[in-house]
Amino acid sequence: MSADYPKALDTSLSGLDWEDWLDKLDDTADADGYVERLGDAHAAIFIEHKPTLLVTFEAFPGLRVTSPEAQPLGWQLGRALGWSHLCLASQTDSWFREGRVFGYFDRLIDDGFFEEFDQVIFYGSGPAGYAAAAFSVAAPGARVLAIQPQATLDPRMTEWDERFRRRRKLDFTSRYGYAPDMLDAADRAVILYDPEIEEDAMHAALFARGNVLRYRMRYMGPRLDRGLMRMNILLRIIAQLSAGKLDTANLARLYRGRRGDVPYLKALLTRLEDDGRLYLTARLAQRVMRDTPGPRFRRAIRAAYKKAEEQGVPMPPREID
């Protein structure tokens, strides 16, 4: 832990609504940075420390789920690595398509803000992943980690994505609009997604660029970011991106953490059961039961062996009743 990290990063922000959360941030960040409200539904929170800057885009409801203290994700890295942090926060999922947000980034560009840092990293997930990619153009040479990002919600481009129909009224055709094009100035971008979610896979395909690594994380579900936090590898992924070490091989090594992640294992088990793969169902469930006993896997073992007996299917030796 950095010995001289800003004391604001110790502040608990839990149990507060949007307005009170911003007010408390404003009080605690004053000595080390600032809070700037960008209209009623967006804000920028800056904490200055060392010359690596992490820029995160985060929706307020998600902060209260992923952090017991309701703190921005970047504060964890600030404590561990001493990085500076700029959080763009939204009251709800907005894709940050707001004129005041555009104007804020315009001012940062005009002031040469990003040029003051040795390295700039953009991060976001889902709608915030879109924003991380889209606004990274403000800092040429930045590195970007976007988890399950949308490329755009413009129905002329993505009419196949029915999940966000009510948000199609947002303007995705003006400035900072089409996220894949905004990555052209990035040094490196990494897109993580679950190919089992067809819409996410199709959006990821739109990000195909020479400076973009797209990596599949199958069976992680619609909240891949929370799964990576649960496995304690998200911050390691960001740190490796900063160090220039985040390639396919290292992502694969980090992703091995899923082997001990019960929600992932349950999702994999369900897929094997749905596909009628009795032998593999039994092997997976028995392996999990050796380390993490649970009724879901015990039921799967019993059901698999019963069906195999009825169908005359060969099975591995039964270890667990």
CATH fold label, 7-260: Rossmann fold (3.40.50)
| Partners of residue 89 on adjacent β-strands | 43, 58
Residue 6 has pLDDT above 80, yes or no: no
- Residue 2: pLDDT band (50, 70, 90) is very low
Distance from chain centroid for Cα 208: 19
Which of 82-86, 201-205, 219-223 has maximum average pLDDT?
201-205
d(CA 91, CA 102): 17
pLDDT value, residue 313: 87
**pLDDT digit string (tens) for 126-157?**
999 999 999 999 999 999 999 999 999 999 99
- Hunting for tokens 């604001």 — which residue is that? 8
H/E element, 270: helix 262-274
Bridge pairing between strands 119-125 and 83-90: unpaired
For residues 307 and 280, the answer to whether their CB atoms sit within 8 Å is no
Residue 204 CA: distances (Å) to CA of 38, 144, 214, 216, 316:
29, 14, 7, 9, 38
Up-side HSE of residue 94: CA atoms within 13 Å toward CB? Answer: 22
pLDDT of residue 5: 58
DSSP line for 89-156: EESS--TT--HHHHHHHHHHHHTT-GGGSSEEEEEEETHHHHHHHHHGGGSTT-EEEEES--S---HH
* pLDDT confidence tier of residue 1, bands split at 50, 70 and 90: very low
How far is it, in rounded angstroms, from Cα 78 to Cα 82?
5
Mean pLDDT of the chain: 92
Of all residues in the chain, the percent with pLDDT exceeding 90 is 77
Q: What letter represents residue 195's amino acid?
A: P
3 pLDDT above the threshold of 70: no
The tens digit of pLDDT for each residue in 230-271 reads 999 999 999 999 999 999 999 999 999 999 999 999 999 999
Q: Which tokens sit at 321?
A: 């009743």
Q: Which residue has the tokens 């009628």?
A: 276
Q: Residue written as tokens 């649970």?
A: 294
**Cβ–Cβ contacts within 10 Å for residue 65, how many?**
12
67, pLDDT greater than 80: no
Q: What would the two tokens of residue 125 be?
A: 């997930």
Report the amino acid identity of residue 148.
Answer: Q
**pLDDT category of residue 4 using cuts at 50, 70 and 90:** low
Residue 15 confidence (pLDDT): 86
The predicted-structure confidence for 87-112, as pLDDT tens digits, reads as follows 999 999 999 999 999 999 999 999 99
pLDDT, one tens digit per residue, over 161-213 is 999 998 988 999 999 999 999 999 999 999 999 999 999 999 999 999 999 99
Residue-wise pLDDT for 11-57, tens only, equals 778 888 899 999 988 888 777 789 999 999 999 999 888 899 999 99
For the chain, what are the domain ranges?
7-260, 262-311
Lookup: tokens for 63: 């902060």
For 57, the 3-state DSSP assignment is strand
User: What amino acid is encoded at 222 in this protein?
Assistant: P
- Helix (H) / strand (E) element for 188: namely strand 188-193
Edge-to-edge strand ranges of the sheet holding 212-216: 33-37, 42-47, 83-90, 50-59, 119-125, 143-147, 188-193, 212-216
Q: Tens digit of pLDDT for each residue in 275-318?
A: 999 999 999 999 999 888 889 999 999 999 999 999 998 999 88
Backbone phi and psi for residue 34, each to the nearest 5 degrees, phi listed first: -160, 165
User: What is the pLDDT at residue 7?
Assistant: 65
